[in-house]
Structure 1
Amino acid sequence: MQMASSLVIVYHRQPYEEDVENGKTVLRENASPNGIVPALKGFIGRVARASWIAWKKSPAGKPPKFERRIGITDSFGSYDVVRLPLSAEQVHQFYHVTSKEALWPILNAFPSLYSSANTDWATFREVNRLFAQAACEEAAPGAVVWVHDYNLWLVPRFVRELRPDVRIAFFHHTPFPPPDVFNVLPWRDEILDSLLACDLIGFHIPRYARNFAALAQSLRTVDDIVERDVPAELRGGRTALAEPRTPVCIRLRGHSVHIDATPIGTHAELIRATVQRPENLARAAQIRAELGADKLIVSVGRVDYAKGTREQLAAFERLLKRRPEWLGRVKLLLTAVAPAEGMTAYRATQTTIEQLVGRINGHFGTLSWQPIVFSTTSMPFTETLCHYRAADIAWITPLRDGLNLVAKEFVAAHVNDSGVLVLSEFAGAAVELADAVLVNPNSISQMDAAIDRALDMPINEQRQRMQRLDAVVCQRDIGHWTRHMLAAFGALRRPQGGKAKAA
């Protein structure tokens, strides 16, 4: 007999990796114990019972060749996973087209790249309805249904209609733009009404919370907005995303929408322990020896125009021209993971990155030295940490980024030792990591000055900055975020008099 869950996590990805061995599908825990999926799985052992709603591709018009519901027991606990069978066309429309061609450019404040030419909003809406229906079937009376990320924006409204008895929470892992940018979307009213059906909406930092509150005020008659001072550790000084005050509640039509701004943390203790194993310290030393650089710069991300890789490569090219003393002595290890098959929104970006890497290596490289080591495939978690540990500088300069866990991982991997983090002001993590070399990636002069400063920084200053960064990363780790979110769920009132409707 199916047991109802007190926490239902709704996220498009499955909470494990699938491999095929001897013709059989094998489910494995995620290779990396860090990141969004493991972070969300950390809640499973802290509630009475949990379910996870995800999608899995299935041929259209045919019964799926997999069980819709499976029980999982792993290191996080026991929970059920409900897989929604989506056709290739549904996945393409929901994720590859609507999410990436229409919504993603707006979220990251690139309205010039917005396109709805190929968008089928009805399919996007229907996929969201399927997620909502599955969540409602899992939820116990008064349960928390926790929805994640922008491609499930319409789920809360459907859940509220089907299950007025549950508490609905939403967390944005992305930036949230100001109203004038968000309002480019022709579906803005439908999206906003869905989000306002939530009891709790979470963001990484106060700026995104303020942008959301401003959107609600611009499109709806709001009865009241409650604000409070931002904690000192999240104010961000005078950086691009700094906010002294943040909204914590919007009241309209007799309903209160609580707003939270708490950045997700990294598994700092695990990272520290991993990099300090003798075999991994040896691997880090081997990486240094193999790459043969006096200064090793690492940059890890994915192919995406918002990640600023083109601007970063242009700055690296200028460095080699401007400071020829670094020729043969500095090396950039660049990982820009290629997009999934069928994702056309980033095709031009990938071509540009590959051309720039080829041009720089061709112009400055020699038979014995290439300035850039480039990869479009992701590295295993431990190998990635060893590269962080081996590097002198992490160069993380997105034009926009909801948070950026790579920055925190790099800090944790250096365990209070030397190293320099060069970080974009427009990454959400910048409001926490004040001791990074913060930079506006849109400015040529600032990018040049930032990489010069990183290369020339005295070792004592490196260590002092890294110690302060490490203290922040360890204090506001994944455990801190988990405890905070559980407390926020616990503070939500259960809806009075709400009864479940027939799905």
Structure 2
Amino acid sequence: MPSSLVIVYHRQPYEEHIVAGQTELRENRSPNGIVPALKGFIGRVQSASWIAWKKSPAKRAPKFERRISIEDSFGRYDVVRLPLSAEQIAQFYHVTSKEALWPIIHAFPSFYSTQNTDWATFREVNRLFAEAACEEAAPGAVVWVHDYNLWLVPAFVRAHRPDVRIAFFHHTSFPNADVFNILPWRKEIIDSLLACDLVGFHIPRYARNFAHVAQTVHGDVRIAEAPVPPELRGNGTALSEQTMPAALYLGEREVRIDAFPIGTHVELIHQLVRAPQQNARMEEIRRDMGVEKIIVSVGRVDYVKGTREQLLAFERLLQRRPQWRHRVKLLLTAVAADPGMKVYRSAQESIEQLVGRINGHFGDVAWQPIVFSTTAMSFAETLCHYRAADIAWITPLRDGLNLVAKEYIAANVEESGVLVLSEFAGAAVELTDAVLVNPYSLSQMDAAIDQALDMPEPEQRARMALLGEAVRQRDIGAWSEHIMDCFAALGAPGFQRG
């Protein structure tokens, strides 16, 4: 059955588990995050399909059905699995996406490399995703493409299916023209995005950067401006904007531009943290830590996450304020990258060496200042650590949004706690009552963690109340409603509002 909504995202919308030699498909362990957020649209449309990849031996027929039907708590939908070889996955995802595109997207051109890049393979994989989407889409359907590694999909879809509406959502940041234009494929990428009917971003700054890049590629691109909603202006912060592009015009073509940050599942988090077993686990964590102040930092190994800079700031804290030794602990989770991600090996080695140096220099048999893990915790366990912590320290050097910040706020409902947040995380424009910090400044990093440790409880509660209200107002439900309104504005069948 042709689908009115086709979601194009590289990940499969479930987890595969081998049980007694058979593959079982289970819903994602974490009910929060990108995949559950996208699956939330499935039950809201007449029919839906999801396009993803699945590894398969090269030049051999795949040992799995290419197209399957799924029925789970989100509804009934079809999944089309593209059989990609190990070589295609490595080139498309591990090399081109992570070694060439990722450093540019996050404004780290010194990490940019095309030494091992095969752009033809990247283009071919994008074409395969596009062909699958075209086959699934009903007349006039919405084909909704996600994230930078599928930048070329819209152009292929537009060429084969001019009847469909094409939307694109960036889960990452988007750099300014000086950085983006380093890419030798910039025109092909921008031409593809300009084939969309709607291009979405988390925050206005990224939309502004995209519009400027489009003008540098096509000098005759016209921009229609609109005021930024007050709650997304981030007044005085590094990513603040007062106006933003609402649409781009290239000849007769209109491309609508949207900026609306994805939210977290606030009600679900509230339900989980209020469960008696969760309270007991939170208390157990606090007892095990045995210190006055617990700082939590949750992320993954990546040079853009600022983990090294954060560890150096923690080391300076223990040097500057020795009275905090034996009274504070940093719970640091930096999930190790996939073995195929060679670009992150040096980042992981640097983190591990710093943790060892700090624990070795300041720790003793009774106290280790850092509890470190490279293994991801379950969502429920992560929420318990958020609640047990007095401070969440989230200071990426660049981040498209950062849902961890919102999860920490939601988990600490009606409680005290301090969020220290980088100005260069997209979420900073809407979470201005956090302790915002420039992670590139040593003095600001020092001042921010000092402020968090010394903040009186009444101020903590006042700030947390304001942050909680911001997270509730723009939760995952608000994001979903906003996206549905955007699709309806495109005139797509099945998305019109009464």
Give the shorter-chain TM-score range: over 0.9
Measured in 2, the distance between the counterparts of 1:319 and 1:72 equals 51
SS of match in other structure, 1:48: coil
Q: 1:315 aligns with which of 293, 306, 313?
A: 313
SS in 2 for 1:237: coil
Q: Which amino acid aligns with 2:374?
A: T
TM-score normalised according to structure 1 size: 0.97
Contact 2:215–2:221 under 8 Å retained in 1: no
Correspondence for 1:113 among 106, 111, 114? 111
Cα distance between partner residues in 1 of 2:101 and 2:221: 28
8 A Cα contact 1:222 1:250, kept in partner: no
The aligned counterpart of 1:256 is: 254
Alignment of 1:30-429 (within 5 A): 30-429=28-427
Equivalenced residues, count? 493
Is residue 471 of structure 1 aligned with residue 469 of structure 2? yes
- Counterpart Cα distance in 1 of 2:376 and 2:67: 30
Distance 1:474 1:382 in 2: 20
Q: Following the alignment from structure 2 to structure 1, what is the Cα–Cα distance between the partners of residues 49 and 157?
A: 15
- In the aligned structure 2, how far is the partner of 1:152 from the partner of 1:186? 17
CA displacement 1:314-336 (0-9 Å, x = unmatched): 00000000000000010000000
Q: Classify the secondary structure of the residue corresponding to 1:367.
A: coil
Deviation at 1:227, TM superposition (A): 0.8
CA shift for structure 1 position 221: 3.0
Q: CA RMSD in A?
A: 0.8
Structure 1 CA distance for aligned equivalents of residues 197 and 251 of structure 2: 13
Residue 383 of structure 1: CA displacement?
A: 0.4
**Unaligned residue ranges in structure 1 (runs of 5+):** 496-503
Deviation (angstroms), 1:218: 1.0
Write the distance in 1 (CA, Å) between the matches of 2:38 and 2:480. 8
CA distance in 1, matches of 2:161, 2:332: 47
Query: Counterpart of 1:196 in structure 2: which amino acid?
Result: L
Contact 2:399 2:424 in 1 (8 A): yes
| Structure 2 residue corresponding to 1:446, chosen from 444, 447, 456 | 444
Query: Any conservation in 2 of the 1:216–1:222 contact (CA below 8 Å)?
Result: no
After TM superposition, give the deviation of residue 417 of structure 1 in Å.
0.8
**Distance across 1 between alignment mates of 2:215 and 2:114:** 26
4+ aligned runs moved over 4 Å, structure 1:
none
Contact 1:165 1:494 in 2 (8 A): no
Q: State the partner residue of 1:501.
A: none
Report the Cα distance in structure 1 between the residues aligned to 2:464 and 2:426, rounded to whole angstroms. 19
Question: Could you tell me the percent identity over the aligned residues?
Answer: 74
Partner of 1:24: 22
Q: Report the AA paired with residue 275 of structure 2.
A: R
What is the distance in 1 between the residues matched to 2:156 and 2:492?
Answer: 18
The 3-state SS of whatever aligns with 1:346 is helix
Deviations 1:253-292 (A, max 9, x none): 2110000000000001110111011110110000000111
Alpha-carbon distance change, 236 to 368 in structure 1, aligned in 2, over 3 angstroms: same
Tell me if the contact between 1:221 and 1:252 (Cα under 8 Å) persists in the aligned partners. Answer: no
User: Which residue type is aligned with residue 461 of structure 1?
Assistant: E
Query: How big is each residue's C-alpha offset from its partner over 1:379-433, in whole Å with a ceiling of 9 and x where there is no partner?
Result: 0010000000100000000000000000000000000210000000000000000
3-state SS of paired residue (1:446): helix
| Contact kept in structure 2, 1:10 and 1:54, CA below 8 Å | yes
Give the structure 2 partner of residue 435 of structure 1: 433
Q: 1:223 to 1:215 in 2, by over 3 A?
A: closer
Cα deviation code 1:102-152 (max 9, x no counterpart): 000000000111000000000000000000000000000000000000000
1:498 is aligned to none
Counterpart CA distance in 2 for 1:474 and 1:341 is 37
For residues 25 and 290 of structure 2, the distance between their equivalents in structure 1, rounded to whole angstroms, comes to 39
- Residue in structure 2 matching 1:491, options 483, 489, 492: 489
Which 5+ residue runs of structure 2 have no aligned equivalent?
Answer: 494-498
**Aligned partners of 2:147, 2:10: CA distance in 1, in Å?**
9
TM-score relative to the length of structure 2: 0.98
Tell me how far apart the structure 2 counterparts of residues 368 and 224 of structure 1 sit (CA, whole Å): 64
Which residue number corresponds to residue 499 of structure 1? none
